[in-house]
Structures are given as structure tokens and as C-alpha cells.
Chain A
Amino acid sequence: MGCAASLPDRNSGALNGLSSSENAAPADAKNLRVKLVLLGDSGVGKSCIVLRFVRGQFDATSKVTVGASFLSQTIALQDSTTVKFEIWDTAGQERYSALAPLYYRGAGVAVIVYDITSPESFKKAQYWVKELQKHGSPDIVMVLVGNKADLHERREVPTEDGMELAEKNGMFFIETSAKTADNINQLFEEIGKRLPRPAPSS
């Protein structure tokens, strides 16, 4: 957290940050667009989840994210609405945590990821939940994801703990595996379903 002091004031100041420049083309009820931010400890697999979702790829070699990566992906839901996700995949490294507001400000969805084999990452997830409740926008859709579900023999965070944390904070909870692609699409579909729809008249 030592880096917090090193940020120029303007970072934490008033910015509606990285909200889309394409606001000019407003989403309608059938075509939603949402800014989604992934948060969580380093090494929990945030980038892997995104790359699995966006490109269908999985790369086991760990590539430490620097700052934040931006990707987008559109999905069609069963009720024929499409949802365009503009995804900010943030770096989990400690030095970037002070920058997180830059990425989660204005986000409609926050996906908080932990690694089911790492209790420490679960603690970090709890930190992010609190942080977003304090500083995130009030109507943000929060999702809790326990990743690396394929490593169940090394599990250290029981599913119940994840469910409990999610329930207490009104979050949607799911366990995923970016490696096997388990529940990845379900995760984003579920988010799409939960998005607030604009009133049909507007």
C-alpha cells in the first residue's frame, strides 16, 4: 500500500475515469453495454478468466498484468438481448491497488476474483468487497468468483465461505476454472441477466 502516497492527486480526484467514450451511442433495452472491472489478488487468474471468455484461450504461463488491460466481448442472451462487456482487467500487484479507483469508477459490474487454493486471496477479496462498498458506485453489480476450481484437491477455501461472503453482501457467487473453461461463459451470462435494463420508453 506504500505506493498510495506516490499517486498524483488528480488520480484520486474527480474523474469519471475510464467510462466509455462512446456514450454518444446509448444502449437500448436490447443492446446493453457495460463496463466491467476485475479485481483481486495477483495470481488468482483474472487475466486467464478474461482471455478464456474473450478469446477462448488458456495460457498456463503466468503473465503478470501491468496496470490494466482492456478487452471487450459481446454476448447474446437467450432473450435475444446482446451485452457488450468492456472489460478492465486490473493488475493484482500491490503497487497498483491505489490506482484501482481509476478503473472501477463508473463500472457497472465488479468481478472480484479469488483463488480457491489461497486463503490469502480470499482475504484480499473481502478487502475489495469493502473497498467497493465504500467507494464504488451504489448500483454496481458485484460478483464473487472462486477461480481455479479444477484444483479441488488443493482447495483451501470452502465453497460455503464464498457463498457466505457473497450472500452477506448481496453478490452473485460462482466457482470457475479458466483452465477447463468451467463456468466461464455462465459467469458472464449470469452477469448479463442481472444487469439493470433501461426503461423501454427511453
Chain B
Amino acid sequence: MMTSDLSSSPSSSGTEFADPNPSTDPETNSERVQSQLESMNLSEPSEVSDGSHTDYSGGDDDDENAGAVEVALSNGNEGGVSNGCVAGTSVEEEIEGGEASSRAEYPVEMEAGEEPPSPTSSGYDGERGSSGGATSTYKADDASEDEIREANVDGDTASQHEAAWLPGKRHVDEDDASISWRKRKKHFFILSNSGKPIYSRYGDEHKLAGFSATLQAIISFVENGGDRVNLVKAGKHQVVFLVKGPIYLVCISCTDETYEYLRGQLDLLYGQMILILTKSIDRCFEKNAKFDMTPLLGGTEAVFSSLVHSFSWNPATFLHAYTCLPLPFGSRQATGTVLQDVCASGVLFALVMCRHKVVSLAGAQKASLHPDDLLLLSNFVMSSESFRTSESFSPICLPRYNPQAFLHAYVHFFDDDTYVMLLTTRSDAFYHLKDCRIRIEAVLLKSNVLSSIQRSIAEGGMRVEDLPIDRLLRQKPNQGQAGHESPRDVSVGTGGPFGLWHFMYRSIYLDQYISSEFSPPVTSHRQQKSLYRAYQKLYASMHENGLGPHKTQYRRDENYTLLCWVTPDFELYAAFDPLADKAMAIKICNQVCQRVKDVENEVFLQGASPFSW
């Protein structure tokens, strides 16, 4: 927590990303925006990526510890910021690993005492928009203290289990004048093309009107030049823009994630909004450019915050595939059969899910469910508490299926974890869907599926320790299944055989992936998050446009040895001890693939690829 003197230099703040004009009207402030942009060097062509972003080098540098860089596009102190970070890297690493470790997705490496007492010293004096600048001084201080207390609480709980993460919006008392707000590592904004705030991850949307107007001005300034702004880099920060008709989405991040993934996150955020409202909200903006969308999203903060949280723990967000709960083949088949029957009776999609994992799913003929829709759907259901209270019937839109129209979703929880979702186009189908649920429930009970599900949750998924090793690779053959009890003379370090720490296997034609459970030494939430970020970079580098499909990649740094293998059938991502032997690692990867094929009937939903019904 003592890092902010190393990483940020608030006293040197020069040009801040301040509200250029209290008005949110783009026309009236365009001149001032112009000067604002110039002062931020935004007009420099090299700073505005045209989409090819070949200058992006984030894939290789591994300085994840960006820590407390101000979330402000402060080009004026860019030098100061990066100097601070470079100097602070090693120290911060230790500190992050200790005190600040394992916090959930919203770490703020800052210390109230380190900050200038008033935000006015960082360039905000008198420049604030409509958000009541008079109160900001004491507010910022309050927020800082709150933050530190809360950060400690998070640190205690978040490492236990992802379930310890509580959904819901935090820090609503902040705005762009709050120091704590500006120090957050990753911001998400949704705004309208007239600059009206729609959603902000942190802080009160209404107080961020001035900030939103500035974002809007940047986008429209570049658009007026016949171009499109995709990415702005400012020191450690990336500002990623996504324009979806009248809706603008912006991410400001110093998390060192790839541009592609951040953009993918904005895409999902947009999809989540469409799931709640459908794309016909566009028409509201056609009728009234200054339409205020925030009331329409009332009560959905938890849905968005839970999605943002999933960007750091759910590989489905970057693999664009879904994962199944491991289950005996018979259990999944019994479930699938009754779901197919239900679909034959006029239901569009029928799914039985366990938390974010699929037990089984079926669709009407020619109806296909995109993995991203599945992700957004399960996020919506899991983060809306009311679904657990009683059976529900709710309008829902699947953005990849049909972004224009609502479907109607019947949702019922069988127990705390397992639920059924039945989607239909008919708004009067509730009683039919209720009958379908009763049929499904009867089958699940008769075939003991619900208890298999509970057993599977208790046992967890595949473990690297349990991988059976080819006898040829062993010096002393021992029984494969009892892996973690037996001595592993040939292994390096902890984890699985030969230093295998973790793997993810994505079946391309099934649109599904299986990921191993986290094993020592990748145990803390922070380590898991950092491994996922390494995978994301690997994924991005394997799927980069224009470089052609790579087949394998072997990469070693001080944290991991990463191996990626892409074939037309599957993609394998594996993380090893940094000291792992390359030849052995390759052999182990073959073993992993073999093992996945051996158990594919239990870990995948066969014959039900969302694209191939």
C-alpha cells in the first residue's frame, strides 16, 4: 500500500483530463475541445491508432504491476508517470504480493496520506462541469479513507473464493474529482453520442456528465476528421473506444491487457446492455438526441459490475467459448434428451446451468446460441438476486441471436447453484414453460442429476495433479489417478507433472473449453488473474489479424513457461513452471490433449454445438 510515491506524481500533474466546458453540448465546446486535444497531444497522428495498432507492444512486456498510475489522461505528466512506474516496478511487485494481494478486480494502490489534500492541485480548479465542484475537496478525502478500509476487507475475502465477491456497484460517491476515482486501474464508461452518461463502473453517472462530454468530444473530433479513434495510449494507460451507433463505450485501463481484449470487453458490455434493452434503444436516440438512458437501466448495476468482474476470472470472456460442468455422460444425456423434447414443443432454447457452467442445452431447429450470448445470459441470471426467490418470467434479448427483439425467459432455480432457463418468442407462454420446467425437474430428480451436479461441484474439475502420465515419461510408474498422493520424483516443483501448473483446452467445433482447476502454486486470486492475463496475451498473439495463423508458441518469462498449440480442431493453452523443460512440456501437452479426449464425454456437451444444430 505504500506505493503511490513510486508510481504517481500528483504534484507534477500538468494538463489534466478535465472537463473543457460545463455544457454537454458538443457543438458549443468544439473549439475548447480542440485546444484540449492539442494539449493532450491527441492530434498527433501516432497517438491515434487507426485500428491496425501495429505499434502496440503490450504483448511482450510483462510489467503487470502498473499499480497506482492516475487514471487521467494526463499527457502533461506522462513522463513522470512512466518514470515512477519503472522505478517502482520491483518494489511494487513485492508489495502487491503481500498486502495488496488477492484483492478482487478493483484494486486501488493508493494511500490517502500520499495525496495532495485537495484535488485543486491537480488541475481541476474551477474546471469542473455540472457536478458541484464545491463539495469535491472533502469528498475526495472521504472516498480515499473509505477505499482503504474497503480494500482491506476485499483483500481478506476475495482470496477465499470468487463467490466471496459481492456484486453491486461500489464507490458511487466518487466522481472525476475524487482522487480515488482517478486512481482506479480500470474504468468503463457507456455514454450516448450526445455525451450523456449511461453507465460508469465507478462513481455516479450523473456527476460524470462533464467527463462523459469530454469523451464524446474526443470521439466526435476524430470522426469529424473522417477517421475513427480506436485506441489512445497515454503512458501506462490505454483508452479504448468502441462506437455502436448512438452508443459510445470507453475503457480507460492501466492493467496491461491487450487492446483486443479490452475492446472485446467493451463489446460484451454493449451486448449486456442489449440483452437488457434490445437494440431498439437506438430509436430513442433518433427521436431525441439528448435522451437520458440511465432510468432504463435502473437496478442493473450488479449485472454490469458482475460482468466486469468476470473479465478477470472467466476465460469465456476471451475464449468466446462456453464450459460445461463435468458430469457423468448419462446425467448429461438424460438432461439433454428432456431439453430437446421441450424444444420440440415450441421452446426456442432450453438450458440447464450450474452457476456459469452448462449442464446441458438444446435449441429449436436452426436456432443457434452464441457462446457470448450464453455468457451474458448466465451473467444476467447469476447477478440478479430476484431469480433465486421464485420462478420468473422476464423479457430478455440475445444480442447475437436477434439484437432487435425480446425473447421471453422463464427462469427457475432448482437449488442454490442449478437453474433452468427456457427462452421463447411467445409472451404468453409462461404456463407452458412452467409445465416444461416441471417435466425437466422430474427427469433431473429421477436420474439423480441434481445430486450428480452437487457431487461435481464438490469434486471440482480436472486437476493437473491427476493427469495420468505416460509410463515412458516416468522413471517410476505409479497409478495415474492417485496422482497427488504419490511421490512425483520426475516432477518439477508443485502442480502437475513436469511443472505443469494449469491448462485450458478449447474445442473449436464444439465452441467449448475445459480449464483445469487452479492448483498450487497458482492459488491466490491475484496469481490466477495474472495467469489469465498471460493467457489473454497469448490468445491475442495467436489470433492477431494479418500475421497468419500460428500453430505453436512457446514463451518463457520469469513467471511462467507458456505453451500454446493451435490446430484446426482445438487450441491448447498451458502454463508451466518457468524452469520447465521444453521437450518435456511439449510431451505433457500431448498427454493433456490425450487426457481431454479420454474424458471428453464427461467434460463436453457432445453433438450440441450451438452452431451445428
Contact = CB atoms under 8 A, between A and B. Distances in A.
* Residue among B284, B291, B380 facing the most chain A CB atoms (10 A cut-off): B284
A50 B109 CA distance: 44
Of listed B302, B387, B435, residue having the most chain A CB within 10 A: B387
- Main secondary structure, interface of B, reads mixed
Nearest to B291: A2
Contact of A17 (B284, B428, B432): B428
B386 A8 contact: no
**Interface bin, chain A:** 35 or more
Contacts of B601: none
Interface in A1-33: 2-3, 5-8, 10-11, 15-18, 20-22
Interface centre among B295, B298, B299 (most CB of A within 10 A): B299
B541 to A, nearest CB: 39
Contact of B385 (A18, A21, A63): A63
Contacts of B280: 3, 5-6
Interface string B417-443: 000000001111011101100000000
Interface of A, helix, strand, loop or mixed by DSSP: mixed
Nearest to B384: A66
Contact of B394 (A6, A11, A63, A68): A68
Nearest to B299: A64
Contact of B278 (A6, A10, A67): A6
Contacts of B435: 21
Contacts, number: 105
B395 interface: yes
Contacts of B392: 65-70
B299 A67 contact: no
A93 B298 contact: yes
A22 B432 CA distance: 11
Contacts of B430: 18, 70
A65 B277 contact: no
A94 B428 contact: no
B182 to A, nearest CB: 30
B409 A67 contact: yes
A154 interface: no
Nearest to B429: A18
A6 B283 contact: yes
Chain A CB within 10 Å — which of B296, B386, B391 has the most? B386
Interface string A28-51: 000000000000001000010001
Interface string B279-291: 0110110000001
A99 interface: yes
A102 B299 CA distance: 21
A155 B127 CA distance: 40
Interface string B380-412: 100011110111111110000000011001000
A93 B298 CA distance: 6
A11 B427 contact: yes
B299 A8 contact: no
A21 B391 contact: no
B273 to A, nearest CB: 11
Contacts of B427: 8, 10-11, 15, 17, 102
Nearest to B279: A6
A95 B296 contact: yes
24 contacts: A2-B281, A2-B293, A2-B296, A5-B280, A8-B427, A17-B428, A18-B430, A20-B431, A21-B432, A42-B298, A61-B385, A64-B299, A66-B386, A67-B395, A69-B390, A69-B392, A70-B430, A89-B390, A91-B299, A93-B298, A94-B296, A94-B298, A96-B395, A99-B395
